[in-house]
């Protein structure tokens, strides 16, 4: 079957996928590059690809967990946020009724404090979110009274309220805070509300003061300063300015964050239009350029991995999608496996893995590089269809917190034994780098060739018994880096493709044991050198598809 015929047949038969994608599949199957494939070649390729995928899954580092543990919280209402304070190595939890729990690094509850303001003393007013302002040792708490209050963490006893921001147009229900580690004066507090507005306060002199303090307040440093949102919009406060947009059009903003790598504010809703919006800061830094992603049925949450440049979304349609921030048309990857709506996602950044948690209380861990589910854990929460979940993974300590209404569960990683990693069972003889496939190729005295991903270090495939029981002494790549040549102590050189298919066997030693030290691939010939003070020159059409043995043209030197 030719390439054109294969693309046409596959498009008609399968019913999905593009001709371009099937053309790329044809090129991978047609390793001999003769322009035709048959059923045997296609099935062999598919079986080998599935074998590689299975081997990669086995080679992936999967964390081992301790048993689920429910922490002894004192919250009577729904837990709204869990955060970790790096400066003091403490955890904070806050619930809807305004009770703040302070936990030590050993996860012992140290104290509980009521977080209130004059307005929140009234009934039916709740805490909606909490963030830590690490660079200035403060926390910010959002209330249903359309207020955000800033509390000082350095004061003894209860945390006093230093600033109260009032007059917001909608109730803020999600917040996030970022500061520049190289210049802690620069920071951004972003928040979203129930009217669909996404707003941000950009601080320029955070270490000096978050907001302007009136002259009367300078006499009493502990006095609370009340300020209005209109003051911030008018530019009265010179130490900060505001950014905002209303592209979500009345839908509740479920999550918002400012990302410094993208220099953009990312926000999401459960609507299927303008589901996720990236508001890019332009050169003036005070104007936003909008990019909108539409996701069927909407999403509950998202997370961004700066090294991979990927946004993961938790879909109501049970799918976890991976997005390139600059491509809005379709995701670059879809992770299938959940049986219910996905309500949380978070990257395990160091390992390039992703956590996802669904409404049926199933936790999955994914390998992003190969888009594989490598772990599934059913969480022992009570059966309930209506619950509020907070998901927080503390990567530095290997602790995963999942709340279920007013309960808080901990899933802690077991410490991993530090063992010296060995890539081969026997001594390594040669290492090459394939710049086309971005793979490292290594061989050993056990006649084994292994292939490794350069960016992750994972073994993706292995050829065993390449020269029987003889050692592989050297290797080389052809000019196009589509063929691998292996030389052995049995006096043979073999030419392989990267699917494990041996195209040629070159009889350099003429049935004798000759240790080959170097292989040089020229345009139409192969020069082979050995330790026996001989050289061999083979005239060989490298891309020929038939298997044959070849004797050297000149031998000895």
Instruction: Give the per-residue pLDDT at 228.
Output: 95
Closest CA to 264 of 307, 312, 326, 315: 326
Tell me if 69-412 shares its fold with 428-550: yes
Measured distance CA(41)–CA(29) in Å, rounded: 7
Instruction: State whether CATH 3.40.50.850 applies to domain 69-412.
Output: no
Find out whether the peptide bond into 556 is cis, omega within 30 degrees of 0: yes
Which of 17-31, 91-105, 311-325, 519-533 shows the lowest mean pLDDT across its residues? 519-533
Do residues 171 and 192 touch, judged by C-beta distance below 8 A? no
Note the pTM of the prediction, 2 decimals. Answer: 0.69
- Which pLDDT score, from 0 to 100, does residue 542 have? 42
Nearest to 148 by CA among 117, 124, 178, 179: 117
- Identify whether the C-beta of residue 190 lies closer than 8 Å to the C-beta of residue 258: yes
**How far apart (Å, rounded) are the C-alpha atoms in residues 374 and 367?**
6
How high is the pLDDT of residue 158?
79
Does the structure show a pLDDT above 60 at 133?
Answer: yes
For the chain, domain boundaries: 69-412, 428-550
- Mean pLDDT of the region 190-218: 89
**Over residues 27-34, mean pLDDT:** 79
The class of domain 428-550 in CATH terms is mainly beta
Helical packing angle, 19-29 and 39-59, nearest 10°: 90
Question: Within 10 Å of residue 256's Cβ, how many Cβ atoms?
Answer: 25
Let me know: does 496 contact 507? Beta carbons within 8 Å.
no
Q: Which residue has the tokens 């102590």?
A: 489
Tens-place pLDDT, residues 359-375: 999 999 999 988 889 89
pLDDT in tens, 288-319: 999 999 999 999 999 999 999 999 999 999 99
Cβ proximity of 262 and 276 under 8 Å = no
In the predicted structure, residue 198 carries a pLDDT above the cut 50: yes
147: left (phi over 0), alpha (psi -120 to 50) or beta: beta
How many other β-carbons are positioned within 10 Å of the β-carbon of residue 221? 9
Mean pLDDT for 54-80 is 84
Which pLDDT does position 117 carry in this prediction? 57
Please state, rounded to an integer, the average pLDDT across all residues of the chain.
Answer: 87
Q: Does the structure show a pLDDT above 70 at 541?
A: no
Determine contact, residues 331/295, Cβ cutoff 8 Å.
no
Please give the pLDDT value at position 324.
Answer: 96
234: part of which helix (H) or strand (E)? helix 229-234
Question: How many Cα atoms within 13 Å fall on the side-chain side of residue 158?
Answer: 10
According to the model, what pLDDT value does residue 39 have? 87
Predicted local confidence at residue 548, as pLDDT? 40
Per cent of the chain over pLDDT 90 is 58
């Amino acid at each position: 079957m030719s390439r054109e015929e294969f693309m046409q047949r596959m498009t008609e038969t399968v019913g999905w996928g593009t001709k371009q994608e099937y053309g790329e599949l044809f090129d991978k199957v047609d390793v001999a590059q003769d322009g035709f494939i048959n059923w045997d070649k296609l099935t062999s390729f598919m079986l080998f690809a599935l074998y590689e995928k299975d081997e990669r899954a086995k080679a992936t580092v999967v964390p081992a967990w301790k048993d689920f543990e429910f922490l002894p919280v004192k919250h009577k209402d729904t837990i709204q946020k869990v955060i970790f304070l790096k400066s003091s190595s403490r955890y904070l939890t806050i619930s809807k009724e305004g009770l703040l729990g302070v936990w030590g690094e050993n996860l012992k509850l140290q104290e509980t404090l009521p977080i209130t303001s004059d307005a929140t003393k009234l009934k039916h007013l709740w805490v909606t979110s909490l963030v830590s302002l690490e660079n200035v040792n403060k926390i910010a708490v959002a209330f249903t009274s359309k207020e955000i209050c800033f509390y000082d963490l350095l004061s003894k006893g209860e945390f006093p309220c230093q600033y109260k921001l009032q007059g917001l147009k909608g109730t803020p229900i999600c917040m996030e805070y970022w500061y520049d580690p190289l210049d802690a004066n620069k920071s951004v507090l972003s928040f979203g509300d129930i009217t669909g507005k996404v707003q941000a306060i950009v601080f320029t002199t955070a270490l000096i003061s978050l907001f302007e303090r009136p002259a009367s307040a300078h006499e009493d440093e502990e006095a609370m300063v009340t300020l209005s949102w209109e003051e911030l919009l008018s530019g009265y406060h010179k130490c900060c300015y505001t950014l905002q947009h209303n592209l979500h059009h009345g839908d509740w903003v479920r999550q918002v964050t400012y990302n410094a790598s993208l220099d953009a504010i990312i926000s999401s809703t459960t609507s299927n239009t303008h589901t996720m919006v990236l508001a890019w800061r332009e050169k003036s830094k005070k104007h936003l350029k909008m990019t909108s992603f539409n996701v069927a049925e909407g999403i509950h949450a998202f997370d961004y991995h700066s090294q991979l440049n990927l946004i993961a979304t938790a879909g109501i349609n049970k799918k976890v999608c991976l997005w390139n921030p600059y491509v809005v048309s379709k995701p670059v990857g879809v992770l299938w496996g959940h049986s219910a709506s996905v309500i949380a996602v978070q990257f395990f950044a160091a390992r390039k893995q992703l956590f996802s948690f669904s409404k049926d209380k199933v936790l999955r861990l994914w390998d992003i590089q190969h888009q594989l589910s490598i772990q599934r854990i059913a969480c022992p929460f009570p059966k309930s269809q209506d619950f509020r979940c907070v998901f927080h993974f503390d990567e530095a300590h290997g602790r995963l917190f999942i709340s279920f209404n007013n309960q808080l569960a901990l899933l802690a990683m077991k410490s991993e034994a530090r063992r010296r990693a060995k890539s081969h069972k026997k001594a390594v003889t040669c290492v090459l780098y394939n710049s086309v496939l971005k793979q490292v190729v290594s061989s050993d005295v056990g006649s084994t060739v292994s292939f490794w991903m350069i960016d992750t270090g994972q073994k993706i495939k292995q050829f065993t018994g390449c020269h029987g029981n003889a050692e592989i002494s050297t290797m080389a790549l052809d000019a196009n880096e589509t063929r691998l040549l292996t030389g052995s102590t049995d006096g043979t050189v073999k030419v392989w493709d990267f699917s494990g298919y041996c195209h040629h066997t070159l009889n350099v030693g003429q049935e004798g044991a000759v240790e080959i030290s170097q292989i040089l691939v020229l345009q139409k010939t192969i020069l082979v050198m050995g330790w026996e003070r001989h050289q061999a020159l083979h005239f060989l059409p490298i891309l020929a598809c038939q298997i044959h043995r070849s004797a050297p043209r000149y031998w000895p030197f």
